[in-house]
Amino acid sequence: MAKQALDRKPTLLQRLGVACYVYFIPCFAVVNLLIVLSAIYTWWLCVPWLLYVLYINIGPGRQAARDGKWPTPLRRWWLWKHCADYFPTQLIKTADLDPEERYIFVVHPHGIVTMFAWPCFDTEPTGFSAKFPGIDIHPMTLDINFKIPFMREFLLLHGVCNVSRDACLMVLGQGSGKAILIAPGGAQESLYTEPGTYDLVLDRRKGFVRIALQTGAKLVPVIGFGEPELYTARRTAPGSMRAMMQKMLKTMLGFTLPEAVGVGLFTKLGLMPYPRPLNVVVGKPVSFDPSSLDLNKEQSLDVFVDAYHAQYKTALQDLWQQHKNTFAKERRRSLRIVE
């Protein structure tokens, strides 16, 4: 395995930058817990907080992540540069994107934490706006992330939206230059994570293709080379107690906990990724070509979805073939679609 990369010692700022992404959920959880605990002494301090929790969970605030209308100053926060340099991260563009069009960035592999998406698409340090001028990107994530006080604002101020169909249609419906980012493999794909492998969950994920056809958005394949190397991860034996718990979490929360370990902020062992290079390749947009279909027959939308999905898979495989020898030298096997 990449020995030098492992021996590289990132600076404290770089480690803090990555920690701000990897640990943001527990950090916001602790802040909220402290507020609740403080109520024992000063109950009135909790009142505005409680109103705010109600507002974002059952009040009008629960719809905030639908339209991507918040300003996004945090995309340029100075610490994110250090986060990108920890690995280091490269955003590699292979084609121009036309700001008169709309796009769905489809990213693979999910890995343990989809680390590569953060310095490339959720934030600016690798030059997204300079490389793709006029493209307003909104990474989509699970609704549950917007239920937690302060974390909701943290995400919204990066332009992150809700991965519901509704929100995808709404953002893309706003006109030219709009883009969303989706990791279709999701939690299921995270369970396949193992160094040297790119096993994807894509065959049964077609929602993003349907949205592309409905909005006229083009699909942009993205491969995050290096993501599988970020943790010492292994697949859980099927049928085991752990596998059952992972499945339960996945159903209940939408995310799960694969068996993985990395480094700590100050220790050798922890939940942060290893400092190994991330090379994120953005492919050419794939536009739907209906010539493979017999348009004289009456076709249901499903037929179009299947055809576009197949075209997308071919484009993704091509992208892999073009770059695997440069960026996946340590692969154990080729990229494959396992379900």
Binding footprint of ligand NAG on the chain (CB under 6 A): 62-66, 143, 146, 162, 164, 166-167
**Residues 286 and 94: beta-carbon distance below 8 Å:** no
Shortest Cβ distance from residue 56 to ligand NAG (Å)?
8
CA distances (Å), origin 87, targets 36, 94, 296: 37, 21, 52
Cβ closer to ligand NAG: 147 or 336? 147
Shortest Cβ distance from residue 278 to ligand NAG (Å)?
29
- Supply angle C-alpha 179, 182, 184, rounded to 5: 150
CA distances (Å), origin 132, targets 103, 137, 221, 237: 11, 10, 15, 42
Cβ closer to ligand NAG: 145 or 197? 145
Residue positions counted in the chain: 339
Shortest Cβ distance from residue 66 to ligand NAG (Å)?
5
**Residues 69 and 162: beta-carbon distance below 8 Å:** no
DSSP code string of 277-314: -EEEEE-PPBPP-GGGS-TTS---HHHHHHHHHHHHHH
Shortest Cβ distance from residue 99 to ligand NAG (Å)?
26
Spatial separation of the C-alpha atoms in residues 25 and 185, rounded to whole Å:
21
**Residues 219 and 286: beta-carbon distance below 8 Å:** yes
Cβ closer to ligand NAG: 64 or 263? 64
Cβ closer to ligand NAG: 162 or 197? 162
Cβ closer to ligand NAG: 164 or 232? 164
Shortest Cβ distance from residue 55 to ligand NAG (Å)?
12
